[in-house]
Chains A and B, each alone.
Chain A
Amino acid sequence: MNTKIPDLRKERKISQEELALSVGVTRQTITSIEVGKYTASLPLAYKIARYFGLKIEEVFDFSEYND
């Protein structure tokens, strides 16, 4: 699944460590989500979206589930 997390982080100058620490996961998990290896659970996706002050669909790309 594609995400806008790398762009949002760069925009706000936030490191992966800072984001991981805030949402309660490891840095490796953030990396995996960013590269699309791992799909975040709904609670984690909600936490990440809330961290950036956005809705889940504004952070994660659900277009592949539109069919």
Chain B
Amino acid sequence: MEVYRSKLKRRILLLSILVLFSAFLGVYDVFFQTDISKSGIFCFQCGLTTAIAIIAAIQIMRFKGVLSNDEKLKVQFNKENDERLRAIKAKAGMPMLMVTSIMIIVAAIIAGYFNTVIFITLVSVALFQLIFGLLVKLLYMKKM
């Protein structure tokens, strides 16, 4: 359990760096990027970094709560290593789905600087496959 505890501490550190980086990007965008601030792609990037920062902050608070209580730590460890949940995620194709969705969103951001239609299409594809993956996961959770 000590290995898992240090793993969670490492995660908190990484998430804190992510929050700080997002905050830095936010400040930089507001004060130094005024010329492109009206473009849709810029707004999307701002929204994305804000969402990532908020999710990271929530995760940090959750992990801190888990670290302060041994029973919560064991439950969290079991949840992450539960064989049924792992089987459900694998059946729903979750690991690969996350990788492809992130790649599509990165591609969408890059494409967004050249063509808005491609940007909207790629973001829609990423959202659709994430929602579909989630629905399949929920279906398997009911089934298994």
Residues of A within 8 A of B (CB): 20-21, 24-26, 28-29, 32, 37-38, 40-41, 44
Given A26-B75, A29-B82, 4 more A-B residue pairs with CB atoms under 8 Å apart are A24-B82, A29-B83, A29-B85, A41-B83
Question: A67 → chain B, closest Cβ, in Å?
Answer: 25
For the complex, what is the distance from the CA of A47 to the CA of B140, rounded to whole Å? 24
A38 touches B74 (CB 8 A): no
Given known pairs A32-B144, A37-B144, A38-B144, the reply for A26 and B74 (CB within 8 Å) is no
- The docked-state distance in angstroms from the alpha carbon of A19 to that of B77 is 15
Interface size on B, residues (CB 8 A): 13
Binding site for A on B (CB under 8 A): 71, 74-75, 77-79, 81-85, 143-144
Would B143 and A44 count as touching, CB distance under 8 A?
no
Q: How many A-B residue pairs have CB under 8 A?
A: 33
The answer on a CB contact under 8 Å between B84 and A29 is yes
- B83 and A25 within 8 A (CB): yes
A24 to B82, CA, bound (A): 7
Residues on the B chain within 8 Å of A21, using CB: 71, 74-75, 78
Question: 18 A–B contact pairs at CB < 8 A?
Answer: A21-B74, A21-B78, A24-B77, A24-B78, A24-B81, A25-B82, A25-B83, A25-B84, A26-B75, A26-B78, A26-B82, A29-B82, A29-B84, A29-B85, A32-B84, A37-B144, A38-B144, A44-B83
